[in-house]
Structures are given as C-alpha cells and as structure tokens.
Amino acid sequence: MGLIRILLIALSVWLLYRLIRHYLGGGQGPRRAKAGHAPREPNATPAIEELVQDPQCQTYLPKNEAVRARIDGRDVFFCCEKCRDQYLIARGAKK
C-alpha cells in the first residue's frame, strides 16, 4: 500500500507541475531560431515553394534553390551545375 501511495503522490505532483507550466509558460520551452532563419510568427502559414524537376537526374527541388539555364527560349532548372553541364553536353547545346 505504501508504494502505491508514493506513486500516486508523485503522479499528482507531476500533473500539477505540467498544469502550472502550461498556464504560466505556454507549455513550451524557449524557442531558438535556426541559423539563417528568422523566427516565424505563431499563426503564420508556411510558404509553399514551387518544386521543379531536374531533367538530367529527375530530382525534385525548390525552384528558388535550382540552377537555371535558358535553353531553346525556355527556362530549365537543375539541381546543380554538374547536372546542367551533363544535360547540355548530351543535347549538344552551349551553356
């Protein structure tokens, strides 16, 4: 009976601690922004980035991170300069 009583008291203390922490501190520890990232507003919706596919290696990546090349009057996006160069060599095109 003594062990059960100790466990119930410990559980009660823990629940009380969690309730107090939730109401006073928001229930979350301090947030640190990752390097190079500005802190987001709590209710801000995440930006949706357009994905493009590299025609050489078939990798999908965000458009703003892609290497862009203008080929035959249209923009083509690559994951890296190596894929862009291989694609251009295969097509017999210039950079």
CB distance 79 to 59 below 8 Å: yes
pTM over 0.85: no
- The count of domains in the chain is 1
Residue 37 domain-assigned (yes or no): no
Residue 38 pLDDT: 59
Q: What six digits make up the tokens of 12?
A: 């009660």
Domain of 76 in residue numbering reads as 51-91
Residue 79 is classified by DSSP as S
Residue 41 pLDDT: 63
Burial of 66 (0-12, 13-18, 19+ CB in 10 A): buried
Residue 26 domain-assigned (yes or no): no
Residue 67 pLDDT: 93
Residue 49 pLDDT: 83
Residue 75 domain-assigned (yes or no): yes
Residues 6+ apart with CB under 8 A from 24: none
Residue 22 pLDDT: 82
Per-10-residue mean pLDDT of the chain, 95 residues long, equals 87 90 67 55 71 92 92 92 92 66
The residue ranges of DSSP E strands in the chain, in sequence order, are: 51-53, 60-62, 67-71, 74-78
3-state secondary structure of 64: helix
For residue 53, what are the β-bridge partners? 60
